[in-house]
Amino acid sequence: MATIAQPPTAVATGISLWSLARGRMLKNRLMLACGGVLGLIILASLLAPWIAPYSYEEIDLALGASPPSRTHWFGTDTLGRDLFSRCLYGGQISIAVGFVGTLVSLLIGVLYGSLAGYWGGRADELMMRFVDFLYSLPYLFLVIILLVFFSNSIVMLFVALGLVQWLTMSRIVRGQTLSFKNSEFVQAARLAGTGGLGILFRHLLPNMLGAIVAYGTLTVPQVILQEAFLSFLGLGVQPPRSSWGTLIADGAGVMGLFPWLVFFPAVILATVLFSLNFLGDGLRDALDPRSQH
């Protein structure tokens, strides 16, 4: 009697995918270190109201732009505002924009791409032609239209950035769905009476989780950088609030006179981007059901 092949998520010992992934993550010291650094920066930003030595909008024109000192660790900007405090508060916005915008793009892209790949045929062709059409449009132009015609607010910024980031994710998920949907474990699920949605959520999506997580962590820094560009155009974060991107943009204009205004927010942003990239690689390897390590 022929045996039915097990799905990639199953192993002979009965260990779950999550148990295997946890063991792999604990062995990846670089990923753990990057996750720790990222966690510290996120925690410091969330605790800004309690640990920031000054308010983000506290102005001291008499002090002006001063270099780092004991009282102002990162120095002050041209309006005499404490840069360390503004970096902490700016992290709240940058991190929120990055993660919320990415979450919106993942929800749309994963659902759209998995349905297109699973249905196949004419429906798949029409859905992907729509994606190609949206790809032909300048995505930042779409974001600007959304912000101008609806509302130039933080919430709308989250939604607008997420709505233009899902296209690549939908293609990735569609390709993964096409490669898995005729696999033996999917055929076994059909024979067992599992419906279409059950196959998608219980069998196909868990096997695509590594690719989804990896691309998701790469989307976060893209969204953060796009928010910085929009803020530079005056369509993002509005004064007196700031993000890391707006702090860099503000400091770039006086970089020759006051280099610390660019240096500190740029180092923080680069550290976050670096940590997210290595964290994404580690999560991808850990969540790959075909990995043997």
Write phi, then psi, for 76 (nearest 5 degrees).
-130, 160
pLDDT classification of 5: cutoffs 50, 70, 90 = very low
Angle CA(245)–CA(154)–CA(131) in degrees, nearest 5?
85
The number of distinct structural domains making up the chain is 1
Phi/psi of residue 80, nearest 5 degrees? 80, 15
- Output the CA torsion 19→20→25→27 (10° steps): 120
Whether pLDDT at 87 is above 90: yes
What burial letters (b/e) apply to 153-188, b meaning 16+ CB within 10 Å? ebeebbbbbbbbbbbbbbbbbbebbeebbebebbee
Residue 5 lies in a domain: no
Q: Where are the alpha helices (DSSP H) in the chain?
A: 17-27, 29-46, 48-51, 83-119, 121-135, 139-149, 154-163, 166-180, 184-191, 196-199, 205-232, 244-252, 260-287
Note the Cα 213 to chain centre separation in Å.
9
Q: For residue 189, is it within any domain?
A: yes
CATH number for 22: 1.10.3720.10
Q: Is residue 10 part of a domain?
A: no
Cα–Cα distance between 134 and 152 in angstroms, integer?
Answer: 22
Is residue 136 domain-resident?
Answer: yes
Instruction: Evaluate whether residue 195 is within a structural domain.
Output: yes
Name 82's bridge partners.
76
Domain enclosing residue 238, as ranges: 17-60+78-287
Residue 151 lies in a domain: yes
pLDDT of amino acid 227: 81
Residue 67 in any domain: the answer is: no
The more confident residue out of 5 and 152 is 152
In a domain, residue 94? The reply is yes
Q: What are 60-82's pLDDT values in tens digits?
A: 888 888 899 999 899 998 888 99
pLDDT in tens, 235-288: 777 777 788 888 888 888 888 889 999 999 999 988 998 888 888 777 777 766
pLDDT digits (tens, 9 = 90+) for 193-240: 777 677 777 778 877 877 787 788 878 888 887 887 777 676 777 777
Three-state DSSP class for 150?
coil
Are 94 and 269 spatial neighbours (Cβ–Cβ below 8 Å)?
A: yes
